[in-house]
Amino acid sequence: MLPTTLTALLVLLLDIFLDRGQRPQSSHFEKSLQFELRHEHAVSPDARVVFSDVPSTVSLVHGNESSYSIDTQYMTSYHPSSFSAYNDARIRSMRHAQSAILPWYETEILGPNVEKRETLLELAKMTNNAYVTPDDSQWYELGKNWSNPYPFGWEPDADGFRGHVFATPDNSTIILSIKGTSAAVWGGAGPTAKKDKLNDNLLFSCCCARIDWSWTTVCGCYRGGWKCDQDCLEQALVEDSLFYPLGTNLYNNLTYMYPTSDIWIIGHSLGGAVASLLGVTFGVPAIAFESPGERLAARRLHLPSPPSTHHVTHVYHTADPIAMGTCNGILSSCALGGFAMETKCHLGKSIVYDTVSNLSWSVDIRKHGIVSVIEEILTKTWQPSENAGREVPLAAAEEDCVECYSWEFGDFPP
C-alpha cells in the first residue's frame, strides 16, 4: 500500500492532469460556450445509428462565424461506473425482480445555465431544428446560415429516430438534439409520425393505449375492466421498437466518437422524454421541452434510480395539455388524433410557465409545438419572473405527483 503522502500527491497530480483542480465547485460559476452544427443523426431501416457529417467549412451568407453562444454553470450529477453495470442492474430487476446494488458516483459537471432565458431560447431552437433540414423554411438560423448536404436518414420516406449533434470548436462539449413527435393533431406531421405514435402510446399511456373498446391497443396487456398485467406491460416497453434503446445506442456511439467530451441531451415532446431518460441513465444534463410525463416509463423500463435527478430539467407551460397530463379521455384532442397521452409526472426539476393565468391562454393542443414556446414565451421577458428578480420561473421537483390512479396493475394472466 502506498504511503499516505505519496497517495495524496498522486491524486493531486491526477486532478491537475484531468483539469479537475480548475473546476469550480459552485453552481453559481458561469461561462459561455460556442457551438456549431457538427452532425445529423438518424437510424437506418436495419436499426443502425448513422451520422451525416456537416462540413467544417460552411458557406456563410452574412459572413459571420458559424457558432453561437450558450451560458453554462456547474451542477451536481450522479452516474454509474459503466453502462454495462447499469444495464446489468436493469436486467436483474426485470428478470428476477431483484434490486442490484449499483454504486453511484457524484460529480460536478458543466451544463447549460437553465436560469437564463437566452440559454433556454437557444436550446429550444436546437430542438426545433431536429424536425427539419437546414434548407427548410422552418429552420432557425441561430443567427447564422448553413450550407448542408441532404443526409442519409432524413429522406422523405425515413420514419424513425433522428436529430442533430452540435459541438464546441474544441469538442469539449457536445449537444445531442432528439426529434419529438410529428403529428398533424398538434401542428405538424411528417414521415416519422407512425413510429412516433407507437412510441408515444407505449411510453405515455396507462395500459397499452386502452381508451375504450373501440381502440386497438399497442400491446396485449389489458385484462378487462381497469386491470392491466404489469409484467406484460414492462416487457412491451423493452421491445426494439421503443426509442429508448435506440437512444442508448446513439449515446454510446457519441462517447466512442468523443470519448473526452461532456455531453448534453435536449429534445421536445417525445424527444424530450427520451432525452430525460438518457440523462438519468448516463448522468448527463438533459433539457426537455413540453415533454409528457416520463417518470412512469422510467419505472416500467426498470431504470435504476440515482440519488438525485436534478440534472434533468423540464420546461413547459400550463396551456399544453400533453405536458400537464390533461390530454386524456375519449373526447380529448389527443384521443381524437389516436394518441393516449395519460401520464403527467416528470423526473428532475420543472420550469413551468403559467401561461393560463399570466397570458390568459386557453388550454389547447396547438400550443404544444416548440415554435409556440420559442416565439410566444422565450423570445420575450417573462414578467412574473422579472418581478421576482429572475429571468425564468423557479425550477422545482414535482412532489406528490400521482397518475393512472384508476388502474389496477398486477399479475393478471391472459
β-strand pairing of 30-43 with 49-53: antiparallel
Phi then psi for 214, rounded to 5 degrees? -80, -10
Nearest to 316 by CA among 274, 267, 280: 267
| Residue 206 amino acid letter | C
- The residue whose grid cell reads 393516449 is 340
Phi then psi for 366, rounded to 5 degrees? -70, -15
Count of Cβ atoms closer than 10 Å to residue 342 Cβ: 28
Q: What is the dihedral of CA 8, 9, 13, 15, to 10 degrees?
A: 20
**273: three-class secondary structure by DSSP:** helix
| CA–CA gap between residue 170 and residue 6 (Å, rounded) | 34
Catalytic position from the list 177, 269, 350, 385: 269
Q: Is 333 a catalytic residue?
A: no
Alpha-carbon radius of gyration of the chain: 21
β-strand pairing of 173-178 with 262-268: parallel
Specify the DSSP element, H or E, that contains 234. Answer: helix 230-237
Residues 6+ apart with CB under 8 A from 313: 114, 285, 286, 287, 288, 348, 349, 350, 351, 395
Nearest to 394 by CA among 115, 65, 57: 115
Q: Distance between alpha carbon 198 and the CA centroid of its chain, in Å?
A: 18
Name the maximum alpha-carbon separation found in the chain.
73
| CA–CA gap between residue 128 and residue 304 (Å, rounded) | 30
Specify the DSSP element, H or E, that contains 33. Answer: strand 30-43
As annotated, the active-site residues are 269
